């Protein structure tokens, strides 16, 4: 059993008016993703999908995207991205998955999932990017959700690994509230997406205090899920 991750799939099987291949580096991305996924991932593996999963505006519009990923090998853990407008309450999403037979999909929201001695933790996070306005109430809520997720893993005796959608550090901007949580729990690894194209070079990767930062946007990874453990 192995642990993989990738962010920003931006699937659009249910909303064909949202093609990503109009952008550089995204040509045939859904085909590339499926090929790379099947080449790397076995049924017993686990894959964390770090936000911006589907362009669907609601669960019904995202159903074809859920079905696409359901039919790929492995167990999938989904967290929210800024474009996941289909996202609703955890209860409603889990009921939708059950009703449609999406038994390989799970939601990461104020909780954790165990993988060996590790706890898979995370939340969307909030903006730390130049030119994007932050909202104090949303940031406080995301900090709380991250804390609850990490603490649940710690209480279970697991070492937390953190997954975010937004980068905690981008260019000269830092999300100090999110970084404080990573510091408090001495998180060793944090994975994030959101950043595309030329923006890749501004997202900080490497060690910040105790934490090693990793970018996992799908176009950065060339649509190949990254092996973590």
DSSP the chain: --EEEEB---B-SS-TT--STTSTT-TTHHHHHHHHHHHH--TT-EEEEES--B--SSHHHHHHHHHHHHTSSSEEEEE--TT-TT---HHHHHHHHHHTT-TTEEE-SS--EEETTEEEEEE-----STT----HHHHHHHHHHHHHHHHHHHHTT-EEEEEESS-SEETTEE-HHHHHHHHHTT-SEEEE----GGGGGGB--EEETTEEEEE-BTTTTTT-PEE--
Note whether 40 and 76 are within 8 A (CB). no
pLDDT digits (tens, 9 = 90+) for 143-201: 999 999 999 999 999 999 999 999 999 988 899 999 999 999 999 999 999 998 888 99
Beta bridge partners of 203: 170
Instruction: Kindly report the CATH number assigned to the domain that includes residue 53.
Output: 3.60.21.10
Query: Taking the model in full, what pTM does it have?
Result: 0.94
pLDDT digits (tens, 9 = 90+) for 215-226: 999 999 999 999
Q: How many domains does the chain have?
A: 1
Rounded CA separation 62/214 (Å): 27
Note whether 187 and 150 are within 8 A (CB). yes
pLDDT digits (tens, 9 = 90+) for 25-41: 788 899 999 999 999 99
Which residue, chain included where needed, has tokens 């996202």? Answer: 87
pLDDT score at 130: 55
pLDDT score at 10: 95
User: Structural domain of residue 197, as residue ranges?
Assistant: 3-227
């Amino acid at each position: 059993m192995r642990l993989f991750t990738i962010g920003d799939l931006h699937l659009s099987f249910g909303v064909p008016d949202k093609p990503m291949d109009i952008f550089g580096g995204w040509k045939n991305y859904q085909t590339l993703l499926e090929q790379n996924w099947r080449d790397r991932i076995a049924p017993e593996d686990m894959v964390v999908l770090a936000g911006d999963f589907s362009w669907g505006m609601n669960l019904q519009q995202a159903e074809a995207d859920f079905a696409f990923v359901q039919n790929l090998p492995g167990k999938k853990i989904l967290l929210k991205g800024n474009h996941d407008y289909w996202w609703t309450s955890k209860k409603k999403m889990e009921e939708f998955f059950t009703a449609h037979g999406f038994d390989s999909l799970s939601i990461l929201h104020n909780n954790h999932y165990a993988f060996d001695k590790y706890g898979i933790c995370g939340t969307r996070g909030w903006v730390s990017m130049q030119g994007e306005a932050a909202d104090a109430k949303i940031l406080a809520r995301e900090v709380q959700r991250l804390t609850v997720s990490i603490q649940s893993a710690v209480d279970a005796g697991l070492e937390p690994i953190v997954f975010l959608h937004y980068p905690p550090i981008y260019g000269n901007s830092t999300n100090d509230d999110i970084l404080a949580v990573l510091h408090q729990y001495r998180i060793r690894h944090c994975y994030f997406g959101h950043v595309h194209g030329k923006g890749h070079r501004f997202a900080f990767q490497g060690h910040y205090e105790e934490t090693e930062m990793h970018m996992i946007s799908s176009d950065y990874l060339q649509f190949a899920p990254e092996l973590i453990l």
